[in-house]
A and B are shown apart, each in its own frame.
Chain A
Amino acid sequence: MVPGPFGLDPVLWAVLRLVIAVALAAGLVFNGALAQIYLERKIQAIIQDRTGPMHTGPYGLLQTFADAIKLLGKEDIRARLTDHWFFLAAPAIVFAPMLASYVVIPFAPGVMGADLNVGLLYLTTLGSMTVLGIVIAGWASNNKYSLIGGLRSAGQLISYEVPQIVSLVTVVLVVGSLSMTAIVGSQPGLQVNALIIPLAFVTYFIAGLAETNRVPFDLPEAESELVAGFLTEYSGMRWGLFFVAEYGEVTVVSSIIATLWFGGWHGPFTDVHPLLGPALGVLWFTLKTYFFVLVFMWIRATLPRFRIDQLMSFCWKFLIPVTLVNLLVTAILVLAFPTSLVPVAIANWILLFVFAASIPFLQRRRLVSLRARLAAREHAVA
């Protein structure tokens, strides 16, 4: 029992601390979502040679606030044949695990909710709970587009969890701990994990794109095939909650990348002053996280969407074998050279180049087989 400040009752303080922590995390998530929606619009506009939102406030900065107020003020529409309780529960089931992930994210030395020694496992666990909410949303809407969207999404999330977890395990093998603080502590200065296990970073990044339902993996919301997938029947702030949860998850995945591969809060001048240091740590961490958020948006403006069978075969036939080979090689080298990480780094860079070089080769083979099939079909028609 921790006694509270100002002679507060410890039981009361425990409850109060929980409320403060949840309020802080929720504030972070909602403000982050507002900022990210603005950034996303601006970046897509820049890439597509437009100006983006300009009219509300200077440079359109207040546009997302206006949209949020519009969402809050919308009529609460619920179709008559929807499954009442599940329809209400689904956004909460998607939102709550995302909010809970913020407990273990290390912003700076001493600035984190709890330093669990199974922190990384906790994050993957919460990531897997999102699927449940999406399936229920699809089912409760009582709409075939919603149902197909929900089931597709469940298949996608469960499939891409495998390469995601295997990539994380590779990091854990190199670092030797599941605690987020220990992982950050193992990467002082320029000795970041991205230089030691770059292939795991690439595979995790791809799997993370799929886990957050971002382009090119946003199949559940493919508007050209499925209206809006599991979101079809949702409107107003319930839809907004799904949307905020998506941006929150993008932030969580980006901060996992920043923590695991890019040294988290480490950066110049973090140890100059006992109070200024952590503040700078938070700054470096936020900058690294938002860099990857920006990369996510850049990818969204650049790449087309996968088809569902391509998505599945890419995961099971390409990504999972690659991550498994990477895990095996890393495990063997970590066992063989317990004192030095140089062999692991060399092997990983070689694997990364093989991985990158094999893509055009595989592409050509796919094209050849596709042409052969087309020719056979034409032959059959003629």
Chain B
Amino acid sequence: MIEAAFFALLVIGMVGAGAGVVLLNRITGAALLMAFTFLCNAGMFLLLGAETIAMFQVLIYVGAITVLILYGVMFTPQRDRPYALFFQKQTPLAALFVAPIAIAVAVFSFSFRDSTAGPKGADLAPLATSVFRDFAFPFEVASVLLLAAMVGAIVLVKREDE
């Protein structure tokens, strides 16, 4: 019962905040709502019993990515402008295409009637075994990707005259 109540709250938070990111005209507000969506998603992971993933979710998305995006918002200040100009010209067309697909997928996804009630917690050891044993090579490749991204980001923002 309590699980269902939590789930309902998280759904409201996630969908509401997600819609806010798209509709809000204040970009810092959108960034904070995005962080809230990430937190709600971590709550979903806790409901599913994946507590390690939930912790990593908060650590990476809320602690790092939101702060990076806020940096980006603060370094690119903009003039105020009318609300209508926040959206592209193709907005109605995009809505026309996205809405039917979204509704179809959401309805279809309710056909998964399997239970998710498994053992809660204790997913740390199996996760670690998987990452470092079965997926050791992709893990190394991921580290190379991070290194490349870091070098690329530094090269892109470095000024020429220094």
Contact of B52 among A83, A89, A118, A139 (CB under 8 A): A118
Known contacts A83-B28, A128-B59, A129-B58; is-contact A154 B71 (Cβ 8 Å): yes
Interface of B is mostly: helix
In the bound complex, residues from chain B placing their C-beta under 8 Å from that of A121 are: 52, 55-56, 59
Within A43-75, the residues touching B (CB, 8 Å) are none
Contact of B28 among A86, A128, A178 (CB under 8 A): A86
A132–chain B nearest beta-carbon distance, Å: 6
In the bound complex, residues from chain B placing their C-beta under 8 Å from that of A135 are: 67, 70-71
Do residues A129 and B62 form an inter-chain contact, with CB atoms below 8 A? yes
Do residues B70 and A178 form an inter-chain contact, with CB atoms below 8 A? no
B122 at the interface (CB under 8 A from A): yes
In the bound complex, residues from chain A placing their C-beta under 8 Å from that of B29 are: 85
Within A304-355, the residues touching B (CB, 8 Å) are none
In the bound complex, residues from chain B placing their C-beta under 8 Å from that of A117 are: 51, 121-122, 124
Size class of B's contact patch?
20 to 34
Do residues B64 and A158 form an inter-chain contact, with CB atoms below 8 A? yes
Do residues B51 and A116 form an inter-chain contact, with CB atoms below 8 A? yes
In the assembled complex, the Cα of A131 lies from the Cα of B29 at a distance in Å of 16
A140 (CB) vs chain B CBs: closest residue: B28
Do residues A118 and B64 form an inter-chain contact, with CB atoms below 8 A? no
In the assembled complex, the Cα of A187 lies from the Cα of B106 at a distance in Å of 52
B32 at the interface (CB under 8 A from A): yes
Do residues B63 and A136 form an inter-chain contact, with CB atoms below 8 A? no
Size class of A's contact patch?
20 to 34
In the assembled complex, the Cα of A171 lies from the Cα of B59 at a distance in Å of 19
Known contacts A118-B55, A154-B67, A158-B67; is-contact A86 B62 (Cβ 8 Å): no
In the bound complex, residues from chain A placing their C-beta under 8 Å from that of B64 are: 128, 158
Do residues A14 and B67 form an inter-chain contact, with CB atoms below 8 A? no
Do residues A139 and B51 form an inter-chain contact, with CB atoms below 8 A? no
B39 (CB) vs chain A CBs: closest residue: A129
B19 at the interface (CB under 8 A from A): no
**Scoring A residues 110 to 141 as 1 if CB is less than 8 Å from chain B, else 0, what string do you get?**
00000011100110110011011001100100
In the assembled complex, the Cα of A299 lies from the Cα of B121 at a distance in Å of 40
B8–chain A nearest beta-carbon distance, Å: 15
**Contacts A129-B63, A158-B64 given; 7 further ones with Cβ under 8 A?**
A86-B28, A86-B32, A117-B124, A121-B55, A125-B58, A128-B63, A129-B58
